[in-house]
Amino acid sequence: MKGMIVRKFMSAVFTSVILSYLFVLIDGHSSFIVYFTIFCAGYLIVGVPCSIVAELVNAKIKGNILGLVIGGIIHLIFAGIVIFWLSFDDPGGFSSLMNHAEGIVYAVIMAAIGLWLTDILFKHLLRDELSHLA
């Protein structure tokens, strides 16, 4: 369990670095540190707990492919909850959020998919290195 949590935090930081760099290149309105701080905060508050829930659900499922798909769906459900929550902050609701702040919606979806993919990658690459923390 301890190894899984360490892997989740490593995945969150690594994905934050990658997405922050991409957003600086694509958007360029803010610095790397601003994007990195926002992504890390979001991952610590929502992403890591979501990923832990996905892993626990995935442990109950027989079959690797079905488990991967269910894990991705759980990450996207949590992303949808975050987007729904953000739409309450916008006076025009979800439609206004999509019209004026579509970058936020896409950033949340990219963050969810990025964390899911990075964690899968780290799960297979670091299987032996983190086994002593179990």
Helix, strand, coil content of the chain in percent (nearest 5): 85, 0, 15
Least confident of 17-21, 100-104, 110-114: 100-104
DSSP 1: -
Q: Residue 33 — pLDDT band, cuts 50, 70, 90? A: very high
pLDDT of residue 96: 59
What crossing angle do the helices spanning 102-125 and 64-89 adopt, rounded to 10°? 150
* Closest listed residue to residue 86, CA positions, set 42, 56, 118: 42
Residue 59 has pLDDT above 90, yes or no: no
So where are the chain's domains? 2-133
User: Confidence band (pLDDT; 50, 70, 90) for 21?
Assistant: very high
Segment among 1-5, 60-64, 70-74 with least mean pLDDT = 60-64
| Burial classification of residue 113, based on how many CB atoms lie within 10 Å of its CB (0-12 exposed, 13-18 middle, 19 or more buried) | middle
From CA 98, how far away is CA 69, in angstroms rounded?
26
pLDDT of 89: 65
pTM: 0.80
Q: With 90 as the cut, is the pLDDT of residue 17 above it?
A: yes
* pLDDT at position 57 over 80: yes
Average per-residue pLDDT for the chain? 82
